Amino acid sequence: MQRIRVWRVSATDLIIWGIGFLIGGIALWGTIATLREGLYTSSDWVSFLIFGLAQGAVYALIALGYTLVYGILFMINFAHGEIFMGGAYIGYFVARAFDESGFLDSNPILALAIIFLVAMSVSISMAVALERIAYRPLRRAPRLVPLITAIGASLFLQYSFRGLFGTGIKVYPDVEILKGSWQIGGVMVLRIHVIVFVCAVLMMAGLYWLVQRTKMGKAMRAVAEDKDAAALMGIDVDRVIVNTFIVGGALAGAGGVLFALYNKQVIHTMGFIPGIKAFTAAVLGGIGNIPGAMFGGLFLGIFESIGPPLFFTGLGVPSPNQLKDVIAFSMLVLVLIFRPTGLLGEVLTEKKA
């Protein structure tokens, strides 16, 4: 008997595709209109691009933490944005102390290295404590339970920082060597953006090496593939999970300092929006997929920096930059609706509930 394949299109499919085409159409129309009006010069676009790359590199660093944890535990570590915030926040106190003692000006490279080390260790300890206290006891609980715990932990960490260190915005001190701009190919770019991008890329390369070439990385990949089988092979699963949180925390802490270096300020709520955006980036690249998270972060950063002027100026929307977050979130919604496995494909598709 021959199997006949019936192509069924339901009403929901039609509605969803309709919405998709509508949004795509608006974006396309806006792009054409903007380009025709020619409000921005090409050097404007390049500077948008460089800024997007710097921003995206930080998103990528945070996104790696989401992806690593999701790959192993199948849970969204909602509090990861707060781990990012914690590193940046404590880094501020170190930076301020160095600034007051003059160490930051006399020995900037060493000072920055210490700031990074402190921030990363704070983030690592937060991540490990979170795993130990909040997530490990719930490893076998129904799926919603750890998610709600993570939301609670996120709120708790935010407001603990607020309670412990005060409410106001804290401004990072200036670092002389990071100021100024460079002339690259006829375009002026801020030095800090280039440095942030290069640092983040170096760290991602390091992570890639760690996961692909070391014994620890091998164990992480094995646990991500199948926890029980990995345990039978003599891998200490708890240890590997802790390692994963350590790696994710370290990247988030470093990302936090990089973010604070070009954004200049820290506040207890700063982790939330980058956290959600980094999650978007992780989903964009296919969650559980490490190169995917890097690609997704950079893509989202560029998209978010070029998107508002490109799509909205031509349509005559007032102050298009207000809609930056709308673009990022719409991106998240659209990707989850149309291609939940991400642009590069999810590594662990079949295990996702």
Q: What are phi and psi of 133, to 5 degrees?
A: -85, -45
**Residue 9, interface with another protein (CB under 8 A)?**
no
**Residue 155, interface with another protein (CB under 8 A)?**
yes
| Nearest distance, CB of residue 334 and another protein, angstroms | 9
| Nearest distance, CB of residue 145 and another protein, angstroms | 5
Question: Which of 40, 45, 93, 103 is close enough to bind another protein by CB under 8 A?
Answer: 93
**Residue 319, interface with another protein (CB under 8 A)?**
yes
**Residue 343, interface with another protein (CB under 8 A)?**
no
**Residue 339, interface with another protein (CB under 8 A)?**
no
Question: Which of 125, 181, 263, 330 is close enough to bind another protein by CB under 8 A?
Answer: 330
Exposed (0-12), middle (13-18) or buried (19+): which is 263, by Cβ within 10 Å? Answer: middle
| Nearest distance, CB of residue 138 and another protein, angstroms | 6
Query: Residue 129 is which amino acid?
Result: A
**Residue 33, interface with another protein (CB under 8 A)?**
no
- Where would I find the H helices in 74-187? 80-101, 103-106, 108-130, 144-165
Q: In 3D, which of 78, 46, 53, 56 has the Cα closest to residue 285?
A: 56
Each residue 230-269 as x (binds another protein by CB under 8 A) or -, in order, gives ----------------------------------------
Rounded to whole angstroms, how far apart are CA atoms 256 and 279?
15
User: Residue 100 or 226: which CB sits closer to another protein?
Assistant: 100
Tokens 């990012």 locate to 84
The stretch among 182-190, 250-258, 297-305, 329-337 that binds another protein (CB under 8 A) is 329-337
The stretch among 116-124, 182-190, 206-214, 321-329 that binds another protein (CB under 8 A) is 321-329
Rounded to whole angstroms, how far apart are CA atoms 114 and 175?
14
The stretch among 33-41, 133-141, 227-235, 242-250 that binds another protein (CB under 8 A) is 133-141
Query: Residue 174 is which amino acid?
Result: D
* Whether 53 contacts 301, CB under 8 Å: yes
Rounded to whole angstroms, how far apart are CA atoms 94 and 119?
9
| Sheet strands (E) in the chain | 170-171, 181-184, 187-190, 265-266
**Residue 67, interface with another protein (CB under 8 A)?**
no
**Residue 81, interface with another protein (CB under 8 A)?**
no
Question: Which of 164, 183, 185, 350 is close enough to bind another protein by CB under 8 A?
Answer: 164
Q: What is the DSSP secondary-structure string of 296-326?
A: HHHHHHHHHHHHIIIIITTTT-SSGGGGHHH
Question: Which of 3, 8, 36, 140 is close enough to bind another protein by CB under 8 A?
Answer: 140
The pair of structure tokens assigned to 133 is: 């206290």
Rounded to whole angstroms, how far apart are CA atoms 60 and 271?
14
Question: Which of 23, 103, 136, 291 is close enough to bind another protein by CB under 8 A?
Answer: 136
Q: What are phi and psi of 187, to 5 degrees?
A: -120, 135
Question: Which of 2, 4, 9, 166 is close enough to bind another protein by CB under 8 A?
Answer: 166
Rounded to whole angstroms, how far apart are CA atoms 323 and 227?
42
Tokens 């804290």 locate to 170
Question: Which of 149, 289, 305, 341 is close enough to bind another protein by CB under 8 A?
Answer: 149
**Residue 15, interface with another protein (CB under 8 A)?**
yes
Query: Residue 3 is which amino acid?
Result: R
User: Residue 136 or 191: which CB sits closer to another protein?
Assistant: 136
Binding site for another protein (CB under 8 A): 12, 15-16, 19, 75-76, 93, 133-134, 136-138, 140-149, 151-160, 162-166, 276, 279, 283, 317-319, 322-323, 325-326, 329-330, 332-333, 336-337, 340, 353
